[in-house]
Structures are given as structure tokens and as C-alpha cells.
Amino acid sequence: MESMQHQMMGYDRTSTMFSPDGRLLQVEYAKKTVRQGTTAIGMACKDGVLLIADKRFSDPLVISDSIEKVSPIDDHIQATGSGILSDARILIDYARTFAQKHRVTYDSPVDVLSVVKSLCDIKQSYTQFGGARPFGVSLLVAGVNDSNDLYVTDPTGIFFQYKATAIGEMEDEIKDILNKEYKDSIDLNSGIKLGLKAMRKVQGKNFDITRLDVGVINNTDMKFRKLSVSDLNKIK
């Protein structure tokens, strides 16, 4: 029995080796890392897109505004991650460069799907080559082009488009709330209220509005905007 366990252990030493039952264990570990990460919510509303992310800092001496969880990729695209946030930072920096190259080359803003596919190409490559681990982060990417789009990328390099979803800690509980209360006709203000309600319900006594990072892009001016605590207090 000990010999069999020892043999099985070897299959999680590299992301390029399949286990006998057809699994890439390092990739599965990366997905578990995401589920332990900070909570993030995304919604595609009728008048734009929004992202809400929990900063989850425990040290009272930390300056809240110094923690950026929702980041712009371009004027009309934003992203947030759950999992290993240093991995998210590298991917978001790459996406920004990709978006700017598109503007310089074609003199037009990049579409959200192109950014998402490019990010997923990088993620997938790190499940296929030796000498590196998979990215331990899922990204919510939301933007406005001809439509209001929201995508989720996971560590495997696959992506899905959603109307509304959540990633990270307690994502299942938040998805249940979104499934019950999200409507196609929801606007940004109502979407933010729903996101705050979901966060408040799952976090309970630990809920603190100053811990939230909220970004919105409306389809009127197509400009990324970060909401302050005073803005959130007015909405709720």
C-alpha cells in the first residue's frame, strides 16, 4: 500500500504528467487555490458592467486605498482575480499591453473576447510545458463594446461568458443569490445593490464596505470608474 501511495505521489510533481485516471493534479491544485481566494462578483447589466472584489486585509494599519483588486485593462475593460494575486497582476499587465498594441496597430479599442482568448492562451501554455507551474488564479474580465460582456477564465485556460457570476471563497453561496435575484433588465445601481447584498449575506458580521473594491463601466461613455466608499454608501 505504501509503495502504491508513493507511486501516485509522483503524478503531482509536474503539471505535464497525467495521472493514471487522466488528471493533471497540479492544475486541479491551482483550481483549489482559486476557491480559497478572496471573493469577487461580476455582472453584465443593461447599461454597463461591474466588478466587486473583497480586499480582505486583516491588519488595521494597512491603507485600504493602497490595495487594488479591480484593475482597468483599457478604458472599456476591467478585471479582477481570485487566487494568487501576484499571478493576476502579471496577467493583467500582459492584457494591458495587448490592448494598447491593438490600439496602436488598428486605431480602435480591442474587443473583450480577444483579450480573454489571449489570456487563456497563456494560461493553457503553463499547463503544457515543464519547468513552470500553472497560474493559480481565475480572472473576471468585464467590458463594454457592442455589448456588455463578462467572462471568467480559470487556471486550465478555459473561459466562459456569464450574465453574472462569482469566483473565490463562498462563490457557490453567492451564485445561489445571483441565480435567484439577477434579471436581464438590471441596471448598474441595482446590480451594485445586489452585489453588496450578496457580500453582506455571506460575510455576515465580517462584512465591511471599506474592504470592497468596486469598478464600473457604463455603455454611455465607456470609461472605467472606481467607486469610493461614499459612492457605495449612497447606493446601498
Supply the range of the domain harboring residue 66: 24-235
- Write the CATH number for 178: 3.60.20.10
Higher-scoring residue by pLDDT: 11, 126: 126
Asked if residue 6 has pLDDT above 70, the reply is no
- In the prediction, which pLDDT does 2 show? 46
The pLDDT value recorded for residue 24 is 82
Candidates 81, 105, 104; CA nearest to 93 is: 81
Asked if residue 8 has pLDDT above 80, the reply is no
Residue 86 grid cell: 501576484
Cβ atoms within 10 Å of 216's Cβ, excluding its own:
25
Mean pLDDT of 180-189: 96
List the grid coordinates of 230.
461614499
Look at residue 155 in the predicted model and tell me its pLDDT: 94
With bands split at pLDDT 50, 70 and 90, how would you rate the model's confidence at 236?
A: low
The H or E element that residue 229 is part of is: helix 229-235
CA 236/CA 221 separation, integer angstroms: 24
Per the rule left: phi > 0, alpha: psi between -120 and 50, beta: everything else, 12 is alpha
**Is the distance from CB of 221 to CB of 181 less than 8 angstroms?**
no
Q: What is the pLDDT of residues 48-101, one digit of tens each?
A: 999 999 998 777 788 877 889 999 999 999 999 999 999 999 999 999 999 999
Residue 70 domain-assigned (yes or no): yes
Q: How many domains does the chain have?
A: 1
**Between 158 and 61, residue with greater pLDDT:** 158
